[in-house]
Amino acid sequence: MKSEINPVPLMRKLADVGAKLALPVVAGRGKPLIMRAWAFGDAMASGVWGIREPKADARQVEPDILLVPLAAFDRRGHRIGYGAGYYDMTINRLRAMKKVVAIGLAFAAQEIPAVPATERDARLDLVLTEHEIIDFREIKN
């Protein structure tokens, strides 16, 4: 979407080593995303904003790892998305249930000095760029 890094090559590699994949479905404004099981070759539907998503009959899952899109990030693990808060709500909901690792996917050029963050914003555990893996798990708020 927009200028986001393409997650498909990473998703293919993960699937090739046995990872079970899921894709997000927008449930409605102000609601966390629904994650539905998906595999390469599965039929897709057109969702909100024309984004391709698993069909409504795909099984809902609660993933352990989330690949999170972003517009910008900082070295404290904060991110800027596109303003609706879907991923923040989803990460916070899943973390209330279990341990979840949130991994931002970004180009190095998307790093900014500081992201203005609120209590509702979910911090990332890692960011993967074309140059490095940035680990935020030891950083305290």
| Per-chain mean pLDDT for the chain | 93
Q: Where are the domains of the chain?
A: 8-135
Is the pLDDT confidence value at 39 over 70? yes
Q: 8-135 is classed in which CATH architecture? A: 3-Layer(aba) Sandwich (3.40)
For residue 38, how far is the Cα from the chain centroid? 15
Q: Give me the torsion for CA of 73, 124, 139, 13, rounded to 10°.
A: -100
pLDDT at 2: 61
Task: Give percent of the chain above pLDDT 90.
Answer: 79
State the amino acid at position 2 in one-letter form.
K
Residues 109-136 have a mean pLDDT of 95
Strands (E), the chain: 21-25, 34-38, 44-46, 52-54, 60-61, 65-68, 72-73, 79-80, 101-105, 126-128, 133-135
79 or 118, which is more confident?
79
Predicted confidence band of residue 49 (pLDDT cuts 50, 70, 90): confident
